[in-house]
Homo-oligomer: A and B are copies of this chain.
Amino acid sequence: METVEKLTTVLRNHGMKITPQRLMIFKVLEKNTSHPSAEEVYNKVKKIYPAVSFTTIYKTLETLRDIGEIKELIIDEDRKHYDPNIDIHHHYICSHCKKILDIFEDFSPHVKLPDSLKSDYTVTGFQISFQGVCKECA
């Protein structure tokens, strides 16, 4: 996902309406590499569109996830995080401050199911979560 214009196209292609809320949420998400939670998205959107509701944030994130424009990260035990970068990549989460870093390395040549499972279990993808302590927390 690149620009607000792209969202306009994407929403139109899905027969969905272009609303200021959706555009503002998209604006907050695009090029955002901080993997925000719904609440963080809400707070950021509120600054540029104060009338927005939490419900709309949740529904819009769900919509964007369903049409494949963002990815829901199950990496923090406390809440869901959202990633506008839908290219395959992995993550590093600091055990201390919970900050999430992107890891852009292609592990697919080496990360496969063992042969014993390969024939019975399809793999649509995999996700690696590195744990550690970041340099700021160390």
Please report A residues at the B interface, Cβ cutoff 8 Å: 72, 74-77, 80, 92, 94-95, 101, 103-105, 107, 110-111, 113-114, 117, 120-135, 138
Contacts and interface: CB of A to CB of B under 8 A. Distances in A.
Assembly stoichiometry (copies): 2
A119 B58 CA distance: 38
A75 B126 CA distance: 12
Contacts of A133: 121-122, 124
Contact of A126 (B95, B131, B135): B131
User: Chain A's interface: helix, strand, loop or mixed, by majority?
Assistant: loop
A94 to B, nearest CB: 8
A135 B121 contact: yes
A133 B127 CA distance: 15
Contacts of A125: 130-132
Contacts of A72: 77
Contacts of A128: 111, 126-128
A5 to B, nearest CB: 31
